[in-house]
Chain A
Amino acid sequence: MSTAAASPRSAQAQAFRDFWKRFARNKGAVVGVVILLAVVVLAAVAPLIYPQSPWSMVQRPFLPPLAVDGFLFGTDTLGRDIGAGLVHGARISLLVGIVSTVVALTIGVTIGALAGYYGGLLDDALMRFTEFFQTIPNFALAIVLVAIFQPSITSVIVAIGIVSWPPVARLVRGEFLSLRSREFVQASVVLGQSNLQIITRQILPNTLSPVIVMASLMIAQAILLESSLSFLGLGDPNTMSWGYMIGAARTVIRQAWWMSFFPGVAILLTVLALNLVGEGLNDALNPRLARKGR
């Protein structure tokens, strides 16, 4: 008892070790973490490995992979280095994935918390609103939003956020509904805490685990959405992204497979890694719900 009280730091470390032990039991999740770390590191050091802009022409066009030293992945139709596009594209994918998930979480948590905490008419109204957004085809809505507000990093992020929040709202609402009547919440009411305090300090922290799990899966979906948008030519025209690379190489697929092959593998690995990590987080954070059969 004295040790725990004396050093909260070591208690935290212990909690983390426990978490990691449960997480690492899922081998797929560990593989996911390794891939994800590799992608993050590549994205971070992109300007160091490829100091030149991924847009600049550096070799002759249509150079196959490994044909010339230093061009592991070949060049595209305009002689741009595909390797450079891959690492610089990682930055955009991660950026859009994370920021748009933050946007979606902000909208979803706010709506879900209000609906679940207050209930009644407000709950009804907010849930109809959520259902509406869940019914419209979300990729089509994202296309329309980005097309109308002109393609840019901001419009892509906002559009993905706008089409991705409904599941968060439903999840958070459900958690709030079940936590609202618990004793610790009633105690806070008796203590005279304001609604805002109860929502943000008492209930919200308790909904964190499932929200974190959902967030990791949402980043994966957001990256898929971003790549699909830029594949259709709706990416930010100033940033190199994986979807754009595939879209630009689409018409020459018969002559130059590598131009669309490698960026696709990059998307696949990143999204797969995030999904695996999400499952691992689920096992580690919601041990009671951990899926059977493994």
Chain B
Amino acid sequence: MQKLSFIAKRLVKAVFVLLAIVVLNFFLIRAAPGDPAQVMAGEAGAADEIFIAQLREQFGLDRPLHEQLLIYVGGIVTLDMGYSYRQQQPVADLIFDRLPATLILTGTAFVISILLGVLLGALAAARVGKWTDSLITVVALVFYATPLFWIALMAILLFSVQLGWLPGFGMESVGAGYSGFQRVLDVLQHLVLPATTLGLFFMAIYARLTRASMLEVMDMDFVKTARAKGLPPGRITRVHVLRNAILPVITLAGIQAGQLVGGAVLTETVFAWPGIGRLMFDALLQRDYNLLLGVFFVSSAMVILFNLVTDVVYTLVDPRIELK
């Protein structure tokens, strides 16, 4: 019961944050240099008069500001994010078409980064001071400092151009006409490079955090007790230490979700992965602000949803959590 009300409170908060983002978007359009209708239509002069007039009508641009805000919020609530004049499609359709690709990419990258990160961090902590530890620490430091888009390019150069092992462009082989299982395999092959690239930076973060967190927990009394009881060291590390040390990692994973979305913009741009990150880049090139803000809103919503999930997971993993 207590847990349910905790989750309900989080839900209400999430809705407020979403509303705040919509309001932010509303004011950003008006902060841009130029007439809001022109801004929403794309670069000045790109749209014809009829479309501009339509926009004015649709968003009530000749009415007072607070009414405009209500119209705008009302639109978003009904998932109407306007029309992309450049792409000749509703913004919502464009985004929801591309969303699955991004979810596959970020989801895989997330799993890779957490698994590898926790594994390497735990390994380093278990061998603290030895060469395994030093190696993992250095690798994590380097990936933490490497620009994502650059690793992506270097990965293409090495694995795709030089070695020819993996495809580095798109999500499927163009014109191959695969179906069923073959198609899944094809997509998986295309997924390897972008997902690993996107995951590496986060892997570095999780590895560093897991290592530090495990070293801290290892010093605690209950671990000494476990050792004194004569439990095998492997069991102590896996069960006693790791379970406690993983809590800050979960917290951070929630915080990092936003970064993952940002990383997707870069990764998808380099690998021509047809997700919303690539869509954001296209919107950027074409100065299609309506689409840009639409992607911004949807990606924020994804992050908020993900934060909600990590909150729930946290309450499950740590029964001690204070339910405020």
Contact = CB atoms under 8 A, between A and B. Distances in A.
Interface string A144-187: 11011110000000000000000000000000000000000000
B157 interface: yes
B265 A139 contact: yes
Interface residues of B, number: 58
A147 B29 CA distance: 11
A232 B31 contact: no
B128 interface: yes
Contacts of B216: 292
A139 B296 contact: no
Interface in A224-275: 224, 227-228, 231-234, 243, 246-247, 250, 253-254, 257, 260-261, 263-264, 267-268, 271-272, 275
Contacts of B281: 232
B17 A135 contact: yes
A276 B147 CA distance: 16
A257 B157 contact: yes
B142 A268 contact: yes
Contacts of B295: 140
A148 B259 contact: no
Contact of B285 (A135, A233, A253): A233
A137 B299 CA distance: 7
A293 B128 contact: yes
The binding surface of chain A is classed by DSSP as helix
Contacts of A272: 141-142, 145
A143 B31 contact: no
B150 A135 contact: no
B303 interface: yes
Contacts of B280: 140, 143
A135 B258 contact: yes
A257 B157 CA distance: 8
A56 interface: no
A107 B125 CA distance: 37
Contacts of A137: 257-259, 261-262, 296, 299-300, 303
6 contacts: A134-B255, A137-B303, A145-B28, A232-B284, A253-B161, A264-B147
